[in-house]
Amino acid sequence: MNQKKTHFRRAAIWAIMIFLPLAVVNPSWGATLQEIKERGVLRHLGIPFANFVTGSGDGLDVELVKLFAQSLGVGYQYVEATWDSVIGDLTGKRVKANGDKLIILGEVPIKGDIIANGFTMLDWRKKIVDFSIPTFPDQIWLVARADSTLKPIIPQDTVEKDIASVKALLKGRSLLGRPCTCLDPYLYSLKKTGVRIKYFPGNLNDLAPAIIKGEAELTLLDVPDALVALEKFPGKIKIIGPITDKQYIGYAFAKNSSELREAFNRFLEKAKADGTYQELVRRYYPKVFNYYHNFFEKN
Protein backbone atom coordinates (compact mmCIF):
# COMPACT_ATOMS: atom_id res chain seq x y z
CA MET A 1 0.00 0.00 0.00
CA ASN A 2 2.80 2.40 0.90
CA GLN A 3 4.63 1.50 -2.32
CA LYS A 4 1.51 2.38 -4.32
CA LYS A 5 1.23 5.75 -2.56
CA THR A 6 4.92 6.46 -3.18
CA HIS A 7 4.53 5.58 -6.86
CA PHE A 8 1.46 7.82 -7.11
CA ARG A 9 3.28 10.75 -5.46
CA ARG A 10 6.24 10.39 -7.84
CA ALA A 11 3.92 10.29 -10.85
CA ALA A 12 2.09 13.39 -9.59
CA ILE A 13 5.35 15.28 -9.08
CA TRP A 14 6.52 14.43 -12.60
CA ALA A 15 3.18 15.56 -14.03
CA ILE A 16 3.45 18.89 -12.20
CA MET A 17 7.04 19.40 -13.39
CA ILE A 18 6.02 18.73 -16.98
CA PHE A 19 2.78 20.73 -17.18
CA LEU A 20 3.31 23.60 -14.72
CA PRO A 21 5.56 25.63 -17.09
CA LEU A 22 2.84 25.43 -19.75
CA ALA A 23 0.23 26.68 -17.30
CA VAL A 24 2.44 29.56 -16.18
CA VAL A 25 3.35 30.65 -19.71
CA ASN A 26 -0.18 30.18 -21.12
CA PRO A 27 1.14 31.17 -24.55
CA SER A 28 -2.15 31.30 -26.43
CA TRP A 29 -4.00 33.91 -24.40
CA GLY A 30 -3.47 37.48 -23.33
CA ALA A 31 -5.13 39.06 -20.32
CA THR A 32 -8.82 39.93 -20.55
CA LEU A 33 -10.23 43.24 -19.37
CA GLN A 34 -11.67 41.58 -16.26
CA GLU A 35 -8.30 40.00 -15.42
CA ILE A 36 -6.55 43.36 -15.76
CA LYS A 37 -9.07 44.98 -13.41
CA GLU A 38 -8.60 42.16 -10.90
CA ARG A 39 -4.83 42.49 -11.19
CA GLY A 40 -5.09 46.25 -10.81
CA VAL A 41 -2.39 47.08 -13.37
CA LEU A 42 -2.31 47.63 -17.14
CA ARG A 43 1.03 46.49 -18.60
CA HIS A 44 2.20 48.68 -21.49
CA LEU A 45 4.62 46.97 -23.88
CA GLY A 46 6.76 49.63 -25.49
CA ILE A 47 9.93 50.14 -27.49
CA PRO A 48 11.78 53.47 -27.49
CA PHE A 49 10.84 54.92 -30.88
CA ALA A 50 10.57 58.50 -32.10
CA ASN A 51 8.36 60.53 -29.76
CA PHE A 52 5.89 57.72 -29.09
CA VAL A 53 8.12 56.21 -26.40
CA THR A 54 11.12 58.41 -25.71
CA GLY A 55 12.89 56.08 -23.28
CA SER A 56 12.88 58.83 -20.65
CA GLY A 57 9.54 57.96 -19.11
CA ASP A 58 7.35 59.97 -21.45
CA GLY A 59 6.13 60.09 -25.04
CA LEU A 60 2.80 60.29 -26.84
CA ASP A 61 1.92 56.62 -26.34
CA VAL A 62 3.20 56.54 -22.77
CA GLU A 63 0.96 59.42 -21.79
CA LEU A 64 -2.04 58.08 -23.66
CA VAL A 65 -1.79 54.58 -22.15
CA LYS A 66 -1.45 56.12 -18.68
CA LEU A 67 -4.70 58.02 -19.27
CA PHE A 68 -6.34 54.84 -20.55
CA ALA A 69 -5.25 52.92 -17.44
CA GLN A 70 -6.65 55.73 -15.30
CA SER A 71 -9.97 55.50 -17.15
CA LEU A 72 -10.09 51.77 -16.31
CA GLY A 73 -9.36 52.46 -12.65
CA VAL A 74 -6.08 50.52 -12.67
CA GLY A 75 -2.39 51.33 -12.30
CA TYR A 76 0.12 51.69 -15.11
CA GLN A 77 3.26 49.62 -15.68
CA TYR A 78 5.73 50.13 -18.52
CA VAL A 79 7.38 46.96 -19.84
CA GLU A 80 10.21 47.60 -22.29
CA ALA A 81 10.36 45.23 -25.24
CA THR A 82 12.29 44.90 -28.51
CA TRP A 83 11.07 44.79 -32.10
CA ASP A 84 12.00 41.11 -32.23
CA SER A 85 10.20 40.17 -29.00
CA VAL A 86 7.21 42.49 -28.61
CA ILE A 87 4.56 40.40 -30.38
CA GLY A 88 5.59 37.35 -28.38
CA ASP A 89 5.48 39.43 -25.20
CA LEU A 90 1.82 40.17 -25.98
CA THR A 91 0.61 36.90 -27.51
CA GLY A 92 2.91 34.20 -26.18
CA LYS A 93 3.93 33.33 -29.74
CA ARG A 94 7.43 34.09 -31.03
CA VAL A 95 6.97 35.06 -34.67
CA LYS A 96 8.88 36.08 -37.75
CA ALA A 97 7.64 37.90 -40.83
CA ASN A 98 8.39 36.69 -44.35
CA GLY A 99 6.92 39.40 -46.51
CA ASP A 100 3.21 39.41 -45.67
CA LYS A 101 3.42 35.86 -44.34
CA LEU A 102 3.75 34.99 -40.67
CA ILE A 103 5.96 32.22 -39.29
CA ILE A 104 5.41 31.04 -35.70
CA LEU A 105 8.74 29.95 -34.21
CA GLY A 106 7.71 28.89 -30.72
CA GLU A 107 6.11 29.83 -27.43
CA VAL A 108 7.29 32.46 -24.93
CA PRO A 109 5.95 34.00 -21.69
CA ILE A 110 3.36 36.76 -21.93
CA LYS A 111 4.61 40.01 -20.39
CA GLY A 112 2.11 42.72 -21.31
CA ASP A 113 -1.44 43.65 -22.28
CA ILE A 114 -1.09 46.31 -24.98
CA ILE A 115 1.57 47.29 -27.55
CA ALA A 116 1.84 51.04 -28.03
CA ASN A 117 4.95 52.57 -29.59
CA GLY A 118 4.14 53.78 -33.08
CA PHE A 119 3.14 50.25 -34.15
CA THR A 120 2.20 50.24 -37.84
CA MET A 121 -0.84 48.21 -38.85
CA LEU A 122 0.86 45.77 -41.24
CA ASP A 123 -0.96 42.84 -42.86
CA TRP A 124 1.32 40.20 -41.32
CA ARG A 125 0.84 41.67 -37.85
CA LYS A 126 -2.95 41.56 -38.23
CA LYS A 127 -2.70 37.77 -38.45
CA ILE A 128 -1.43 37.51 -34.87
CA VAL A 129 -2.82 40.64 -33.11
CA ASP A 130 -5.92 42.83 -33.28
CA PHE A 131 -5.48 46.57 -33.75
CA SER A 132 -7.37 49.51 -32.32
CA ILE A 133 -8.85 52.17 -34.53
CA PRO A 134 -5.98 54.16 -36.12
CA THR A 135 -4.13 56.41 -33.69
CA PHE A 136 -1.68 58.11 -36.07
CA PRO A 137 -1.17 58.48 -39.84
CA ASP A 138 1.86 56.88 -41.42
CA GLN A 139 3.73 56.30 -44.66
CA ILE A 140 7.17 54.93 -45.49
CA TRP A 141 9.61 57.38 -47.07
CA LEU A 142 12.98 56.90 -48.72
CA VAL A 143 15.52 59.08 -46.92
CA ALA A 144 19.03 59.96 -48.09
CA ARG A 145 22.05 61.75 -46.72
CA ALA A 146 22.02 65.39 -47.66
CA ASP A 147 25.10 64.91 -49.88
CA SER A 148 23.52 62.08 -51.90
CA THR A 149 23.31 62.62 -55.66
CA LEU A 150 19.68 61.53 -55.48
CA LYS A 151 17.19 64.37 -55.62
CA PRO A 152 13.65 64.41 -54.23
CA ILE A 153 11.12 63.32 -56.85
CA ILE A 154 8.66 65.73 -58.38
CA PRO A 155 5.20 64.62 -57.12
CA GLN A 156 2.85 63.33 -59.80
CA ASP A 157 -0.91 62.91 -59.91
CA THR A 158 -0.99 59.58 -58.04
CA VAL A 159 0.93 58.06 -55.15
CA GLU A 160 1.50 54.92 -57.25
CA LYS A 161 3.43 56.94 -59.82
CA ASP A 162 5.44 58.62 -57.05
CA ILE A 163 6.37 55.22 -55.60
CA ALA A 164 7.43 53.95 -59.03
CA SER A 165 9.62 57.04 -59.50
CA VAL A 166 11.32 56.45 -56.15
CA LYS A 167 11.92 52.75 -56.80
CA ALA A 168 13.46 53.56 -60.18
CA LEU A 169 16.24 55.45 -58.36
CA LEU A 170 17.37 52.56 -56.15
CA LYS A 171 19.44 50.34 -58.44
CA GLY A 172 23.03 49.98 -57.21
CA ARG A 173 22.45 52.09 -54.09
CA SER A 174 22.90 50.90 -50.49
CA LEU A 175 19.84 50.88 -48.24
CA LEU A 176 19.52 50.31 -44.48
CA GLY A 177 16.41 48.54 -43.20
CA ARG A 178 15.27 46.84 -40.00
CA PRO A 179 13.61 43.40 -39.95
CA CYS A 180 10.47 42.75 -37.86
CA THR A 181 9.40 46.37 -38.37
CA CYS A 182 7.54 48.46 -40.93
CA LEU A 183 10.99 49.48 -42.22
CA ASP A 184 11.84 46.05 -43.63
CA PRO A 185 12.69 46.53 -47.35
CA TYR A 186 11.38 43.05 -48.16
CA LEU A 187 7.84 44.14 -47.26
CA TYR A 188 7.88 46.44 -50.26
CA SER A 189 9.67 44.17 -52.79
CA LEU A 190 12.66 46.52 -52.90
CA LYS A 191 15.16 43.74 -53.64
CA LYS A 192 13.71 43.59 -57.16
CA THR A 193 14.90 47.15 -57.77
CA GLY A 194 18.57 46.16 -57.59
CA VAL A 195 19.20 48.04 -54.37
CA ARG A 196 21.81 46.62 -51.97
CA ILE A 197 19.95 45.94 -48.73
CA LYS A 198 21.76 46.07 -45.40
CA TYR A 199 19.97 45.09 -42.23
CA PHE A 200 20.49 47.36 -39.26
CA PRO A 201 20.62 45.61 -35.86
CA GLY A 202 20.00 48.67 -33.69
CA ASN A 203 17.06 50.83 -32.66
CA LEU A 204 14.94 52.53 -35.32
CA ASN A 205 15.87 55.88 -33.81
CA ASP A 206 19.44 55.22 -34.94
CA LEU A 207 18.74 54.68 -38.65
CA ALA A 208 19.05 58.35 -39.58
CA PRO A 209 22.32 58.79 -37.62
CA ALA A 210 23.63 55.60 -39.27
CA ILE A 211 23.32 56.94 -42.81
CA ILE A 212 24.69 60.31 -41.69
CA LYS A 213 27.78 58.40 -40.48
CA GLY A 214 28.05 56.63 -43.83
CA GLU A 215 26.84 53.10 -43.04
CA ALA A 216 24.68 53.35 -46.16
CA GLU A 217 23.50 56.04 -48.53
CA LEU A 218 19.80 55.51 -47.97
CA THR A 219 17.34 54.28 -45.37
CA LEU A 220 13.61 53.89 -44.85
CA LEU A 221 11.84 56.04 -42.27
CA ASP A 222 8.17 56.33 -41.50
CA VAL A 223 6.45 59.67 -41.13
CA PRO A 224 6.75 60.21 -37.35
CA ASP A 225 10.38 59.09 -37.21
CA ALA A 226 11.26 61.22 -40.26
CA LEU A 227 9.66 64.31 -38.70
CA VAL A 228 11.73 63.83 -35.56
CA ALA A 229 14.93 63.17 -37.54
CA LEU A 230 14.50 66.24 -39.75
CA GLU A 231 14.18 68.39 -36.66
CA LYS A 232 17.01 66.67 -34.81
CA PHE A 233 19.49 66.62 -37.74
CA PRO A 234 18.76 69.76 -39.79
CA GLY A 235 20.60 69.84 -43.11
CA LYS A 236 21.92 66.28 -42.71
CA ILE A 237 19.19 64.24 -44.45
CA LYS A 238 16.56 64.72 -47.15
CA ILE A 239 13.31 63.01 -48.13
CA ILE A 240 13.41 61.49 -51.63
CA GLY A 241 9.81 60.31 -51.82
CA PRO A 242 7.30 57.64 -50.75
CA ILE A 243 7.83 53.88 -50.79
CA THR A 244 4.23 53.12 -49.75
CA ASP A 245 0.77 54.54 -49.93
CA LYS A 246 -0.71 55.94 -46.72
CA GLN A 247 -0.59 53.63 -43.73
CA TYR A 248 -1.84 53.85 -40.17
CA ILE A 249 -0.49 53.25 -36.69
CA GLY A 250 -2.57 51.63 -33.97
CA TYR A 251 -2.38 49.91 -30.60
CA ALA A 252 -2.12 46.12 -30.65
CA PHE A 253 -4.05 43.64 -28.48
CA ALA A 254 -4.07 39.87 -28.14
CA LYS A 255 -6.76 38.15 -30.20
CA ASN A 256 -8.77 37.22 -27.11
CA SER A 257 -8.65 40.74 -25.62
CA SER A 258 -11.56 42.16 -27.62
CA GLU A 259 -13.16 43.81 -24.57
CA LEU A 260 -9.91 45.60 -23.74
CA ARG A 261 -9.55 46.74 -27.35
CA GLU A 262 -13.14 47.98 -27.47
CA ALA A 263 -12.62 49.83 -24.19
CA PHE A 264 -9.56 51.54 -25.65
CA ASN A 265 -11.43 52.49 -28.83
CA ARG A 266 -14.16 54.14 -26.75
CA PHE A 267 -11.51 55.93 -24.68
CA LEU A 268 -9.70 57.19 -27.79
CA GLU A 269 -12.88 58.45 -29.44
CA LYS A 270 -13.69 60.41 -26.29
CA ALA A 271 -10.12 61.78 -26.11
CA LYS A 272 -10.41 62.94 -29.74
CA ALA A 273 -13.82 64.49 -29.16
CA ASP A 274 -12.73 66.54 -26.13
CA GLY A 275 -9.37 67.54 -27.65
CA THR A 276 -7.18 65.61 -25.18
CA TYR A 277 -5.57 63.56 -27.92
CA GLN A 278 -4.88 66.53 -30.19
CA GLU A 279 -3.22 68.32 -27.28
CA LEU A 280 -0.87 65.36 -26.70
CA VAL A 281 -0.07 65.07 -30.41
CA ARG A 282 0.73 68.78 -30.57
CA ARG A 283 3.14 68.35 -27.65
CA TYR A 284 5.12 65.55 -29.28
CA TYR A 285 4.54 66.04 -33.03
CA PRO A 286 3.67 69.70 -33.63
CA LYS A 287 4.63 69.59 -37.33
CA VAL A 288 2.42 66.61 -38.19
CA PHE A 289 -0.60 68.94 -38.40
CA ASN A 290 1.00 70.55 -41.45
CA TYR A 291 0.75 67.23 -43.29
CA TYR A 292 -2.25 65.42 -41.77
CA HIS A 293 -4.52 68.12 -40.36
CA ASN A 294 -7.72 66.27 -41.32
CA PHE A 295 -6.75 63.14 -39.41
CA PHE A 296 -6.53 65.03 -36.13
CA GLU A 297 -9.68 67.13 -36.40
CA LYS A 298 -11.93 66.68 -33.36
CA ASN A 299 -14.92 65.57 -35.43
Q: At the fourth CATH level, which superfamily is domain 12-137+248-296?
A: Periplasmic binding protein-like II (3.40.190.10)
Q: What is d(CA 117, CA 163) in angstroms, rounded to the nearest whole number?
A: 26
pLDDT of residue 123 exceeding 70, the answer is yes
Is there a shared CATH topology between the 12-137+248-296 domain and the 140-245 domain? yes
**Cβ 114 vs Cβ 183: under 8 Å:** no
Predicted pLDDT of residue 169: 96
Domain 140-245 has CATH 1.25.40.390: no
Q: Provide mean pLDDT across the span 95-122.
A: 90
For the chain, which residues make up each domain, given as ranges? 12-137+248-296, 140-245
Does the pLDDT at position 47 exceed 60? yes
For the chain, the 3-state helix, strand and coil shares in percent, each to the nearest 5, are 40, 25, 35
pLDDT digits (tens, 9 = 90+) for 203-213: 888 999 999 99
Band (pLDDT 50/70/90 cuts) for residue 30 is low
